[in-house]
Amino acid sequence: MKYLLTIGLLLPACFAFSQVTYRDANSNTMPLKKYDSTYNLSALVDYIHTNTNNTEDKMVFTDPASLIGQQITFLQLNRGKEPIYPADTLMSEFFTKATSVKTPAAKEEVKGFLKQSFKGIRVLDNSSQRESSDPGNKIIGPTNLYKPISVVNRMEETVRYYTNYSSLENKSFTITNAKLTQNERASYYDFELKDAANEVIFWKFYVNKQRDYGIVINGYLAKLRTTYLNTDLHMYQSDTNHTKLYFNRLDNEKYTYAIDKKWHCTDVTFLMNKDFKYAALYVILKDEAGLEIAANPNKDYWSGDLAIANLYTDESYLAQKEKDKQLAAAKLAAQKSSEIRTANDVRKFKAEMIKEYGPVNGALIAAGQVKIGMTKDMCESAWGRPLDYMEGKAVGNQAVEIWVYKEGRSLHFVNNKLVQFLQ
């Protein structure tokens, strides 16, 4: 009975170990990372190199659960950007559970347009992708887009529902739920957002369209201000930091990255620049002469910007200088050690040559010199192996062997004796 009980206990364990399991080694994704307020919404995905040639990237996604509770703010559209296209203000990724059935202004516009059109007009509902050629009811039909407006496209002869960005601009929402879908074609997050009035919005955020939105995570903004505001930052050229020129968004001028130059952070704010669709987040720095520059704190900073990652706090600046000092000292010590080893090797080689070929020939060979009458072995010890061997013009009945070296040098032998050399 005792043995039967033991066997009964072992059987489930043996069964578990015998199960066939699979693991996908072809995926280009890595374990999820927890959000820590050190990056913005546009950097929810990192790409890391997985081989020494930096040719293979794997994606590291932010864990959606760690984003719950974070507050985000939709930034102001840059009115100074030229041109501002209609598409810059029209969104089709924001939804509510409620439906809207009143768009009378658009309906009247469509009626007026139909009087001038011989083809009629198609009405497209972005929320369901349904289409109708009868705008009479469909134009005021249901849609679950957030605060929808109807837009008539006279060229396409269509009407579509959109959310106007003005309905989101400068508003803050709390992420109350988040889900990640990893897809080979386009990965995305499904966010549930709640505003101050407890209105719920659903947003499908595609990570490959991260620059299409002007959004800041409020915790990230607070972290930047805590880290940099009223602190000194230094420029320092180390082996891991290679920046020669940068573009200053405040005056649209290019400046040289000045080694050991010190700056003071006076503000962390959003800039309105003609190149940006939305207000853009920058760290404002000022030097002793009063010059102000803007450094980009985002991981996906714009080309030409001075990245905040290329600046050092007082502590990191001194630590990096000390590290580079130690590296330079170690390099110098290694060089001196190599020189000592080389000198010892030279002395040892000279002693060996003198022992084998005598004091005169041995000293010449150790110095890399040859003379008429030396043997092939002696010449090889002095000059090393040749690049090529050639047969020269015979002298009397004796064959001439020619050794060819770099830079036109050559040795000419007859009967194993050096009879001529060019150097």
3-state secondary structure 342-375: HHHHHHHHHHHHHHHHCHHHHHHHHCCCCCCCCE
Claim to verify: residue 334 and residue 394 sit in the same structural domain: no
**What gap in Å lies between CA 95 and CA 422, rounded to an integer?**
86
pLDDT, tens only, 224-276: 999 999 999 999 875 445 567 899 999 989 999 888 999 999 999 999 877 78
The answer on 195 and 81 residing in a single domain is yes
Phi, psi for 85 (deg, rounded to 5): -85, 155
pTM of the predicted structure, to 2 decimals: 0.67
Query: Is the same domain home to 303 and 397?
Result: no
51 assigned to some structural domain: no
Q: What is the pLDDT of residue 399?
A: 85
User: Distance between the two ends of the chain, CA-based, in angstroms?
Assistant: 97
Q: Is residue 209 part of a domain?
A: yes
Q: Pairing between strand 122-125 and 158-164?
A: parallel
Closest C-alpha to 94, from 167, 187, 174: 167
Pair 65, 178: CB distance under 8 Å: yes
- Residue 82 in this model has a pLDDT that exceeds 80: no
| One domain for residues 196 and 83 | yes
Mean pLDDT computed over every residue of the chain: 80
Spatial neighbors of 197 by CB under 8 A, at least 6 apart, are none
Instruction: Give 19 or 9, the one with higher predicted confidence.
Output: 19
196 and 325 both lie in a single domain: no
CA trace torsion 294, 300, 304, 305 (10° rounding): 10
Of 142 and 325, the structure prediction assigns the larger pLDDT to: 325
Please indicate, yes or no, whether residues 377 and 419 belong to a single structural domain of this protein. Answer: yes
- Would 18 be classed as within a structural domain? no
Integer CA distances (angstroms), 67 to 133, 190, 379, 393, in order? 43, 11, 75, 85
Q: Tell me the residue range of the domain where 274 lies.
A: 231-357
- Position 26 scores a pLDDT of 52
Q: Can the peptide bond before residue 83 be classed as cis, meaning omega within 30 degrees of 0? A: yes
**What is the rounded average pLDDT of the residues 113-120?**
46
Range name among 62-76, 77-91, 283-297 with the lowest pLDDT average: 77-91
Q: Which of 299, 326, 357 is the last residue of a domain?
A: 357
Rounded CA-CA distance 212/215 in Å is: 10
Per-residue burial over 232-253, b if 16 or more Cβ lie within 10 Å, else e, is ebbbbbeeeeeeeebbbbeeee
C-beta atoms surrounding 112 within 10 Å:
11
Residue 227 has what pLDDT?
A: 94
Structural domain contains residue 43: no
256 in Cβ contact with 263 (< 8 Å): no
Q: Give residue 34's pLDDT.
A: 95
Q: Grade residue 6 by pLDDT with cuts at 50, 70 and 90.
A: low
The answer, yes or no, to whether residue 83 has pLDDT greater than 60, is no
- Local structure of 221: helix, strand or coil: helix
| Residue 407 pLDDT level (bands cut at 50, 70, 90) | confident
Assess if residue 57 is contained within a domain: no
* pLDDT tens sequence across 334-392: 888 888 888 888 899 999 999 999 999 999 999 999 999 999 999 999 999 998 888 87
Strand partners, 278: 77
CA dist 305 and 211 (Å) reads 16
| 187 and 92 within one domain | yes
Which pair of tokens denotes residue 123?
């009405």
381, 365 Cβ separation under 8 angstroms: yes
Which of 302, 336, 357 terminates a domain? The answer is: 357
Which pLDDT belongs to residue 128?
Answer: 44
Residue 44 resides in a domain: no
Residue 65 DSSP label: G
Looking at the structure, do residues 80 and 204 belong to the same domain, yes or no?
yes
- Whether the CB-CB separation of 320 and 312 falls below 8 Å is answered with yes
Q: Are residues 138 and 86 in the same domain?
A: yes
Cα gap 236→315, rounded to integer Å: 13
Whether residue 237 is found in the same domain as residue 212: no
d(CA 201, CA 95): 6
327, 357, 387 — which closes off a domain? 357
Nearest to 143 by CA among 164, 128, 121, 159: 128
Burial of 78 (0-12, 13-18, 19+ CB in 10 A): buried
Query: Within this chain, do residues 285 and 205 fall inside the same structural domain, yes or no?
Result: no
Q: How many domains does the chain have?
A: 3
Note whether 110 and 200 are same-domain residues.
yes
- In-domain check, residue 224: no
Q: pLDDT tens, 266-290? A: 999 999 877 788 888 999 999 999 9
Give domain status of residue 260, yes or no. Answer: yes
